[in-house]
Copies of this chain bind each other. A is one copy, B any other.
């Protein structure tokens, strides 16, 4: 947190859709601005045809909510709009702060489709404003953390470096994407700003231009090694990897040995990585440089890494760029922010449903709690149980029914479980009430999360779906509200 607070990150109060401000205005005009509402954030479909997602974005959301305020410049801008907002509304905005409650799954947690991962209870006035930014942050960061987690599965313990900045979708994506990748198990990023903002380790070698600015490859390697003898990683594909790059790298490696140092690694950034890495490994080993690591980069993703490994590529360290930072095979997560419950004109809470001709777009009414049920026998997660907030069974450890309305033969009572409440309090009445974990703690939390699930749910291809069940009570509420609408 402190680092993001210190670096001035730009005022994000207007980082919202205009219709949010128009709805705020309409609430203000009709006197309903203080009526409360519960909104929940969830996504309907797991990305990459995968079995899970890795939640990220909360630190950014917290920083955003804490800085929310309309200054002179914002007020002046709004005054100019064709909506011609009344001056008294603009005055109301001057004292605007986020005063609501926010509960969120901790970052690094494995999350699934159809379950609330953030819950906001706030004045309608505030809840509208923040929707756009919350989705923007959560959607992107969760997407990249999930992609990174998949890449890490195939890397199988190899070192993973995030190298995507130059192809990222602008500067924020580069740094928050680097952070998301680190949460999900990447080991370092090349982006120094991500390093200073988030305390992520940074790594770097040299570029082709370094070679080209010298009169020869060997000279360029040698000069680089003289300057940073403890951090030498040599890019060997500027001219010809096997006939020039490697022989020169080996000479410099041997020179480094002569001064009591060791060449750290060589990097392959083009060509046939499977073939070149095997040849490079053999050449290095033969020269007595068996300790020199091989880095590969060049449009890698989980499928290419899997295939390279299957071909016996001798790569120790993977530099992953474009495919990760843009989440190229699915560049957006469809997270939404939906009204679940509202305070009506009489001050009573009532659940709200959104109907749609598209069945999966019908929302689950009522403010909800998500429970992760973990077997006391196996220590593994059994299912996520989405119940109305008022339901107490999981908290009390009472038997709960995993209820499948379309497939009653799958119904199942769960006993002897531990129930973990996924949504944890972050803001209460606008005050931050939880200390956000450090990035290292988030990484460790993510590790523990992975261990909580059977590998069948996590595998990349055709995973066994992990159950997310609505409680019978929540289901019946939905059915009765649908019935009411039909009439």
Contacts and interface: CB of A to CB of B under 8 A. Distances in A.
A191 B327 contact: no
Q: How large is the interface on A (under 10, 10 to 19, 20 to 34, 35 or more residues)?
A: 35 or more
A364 interface: no
A88 interface: no
B17 A163 contact: yes
B228 A25 contact: yes
A196 B81 CA distance: 11
Of the candidates A74, A167, A224, A328, the one having the most CB atoms from chain B within 10 angstroms of its own CB is: A167
B167 A170 contact: no
B357 A270 contact: yes
B192 A19 contact: no
Interface in A193-228: 193, 195-196, 202-210, 212-213, 215, 223-224, 226-228
Interface stretch (A90-98, A249-257, A348-356, A407-415): A348-356
A169 B22 contact: no
Given A169-B168, A192-B17, A213 B271 contact: no
Of the candidates A20, A22, A29, A82, the one having the most CB atoms from chain B within 10 angstroms of its own CB is: A22
B173 A26 contact: no
B342 A213 contact: yes
Given A10-B10, A140-B170, A196-B73, A326 B322 contact: no
A163 to B, nearest CB: 7
A113 interface: no
A298 to B, nearest CB: 11
B21 A192 contact: yes
A334 interface: yes
Contact of A173 (B78, B172, B345): B172
A18 B202 contact: yes
A228 B270 contact: no
A212 B137 contact: no
Contacts of A213: 32, 35, 37, 124, 339, 342, 352
A195 B77 contact: yes
A169 B169 contact: yes
A81 B167 CA distance: 25
A205 B22 contact: yes
A224 B27 CA distance: 9
A99 interface: no
Contacts of A357: 240, 270-271
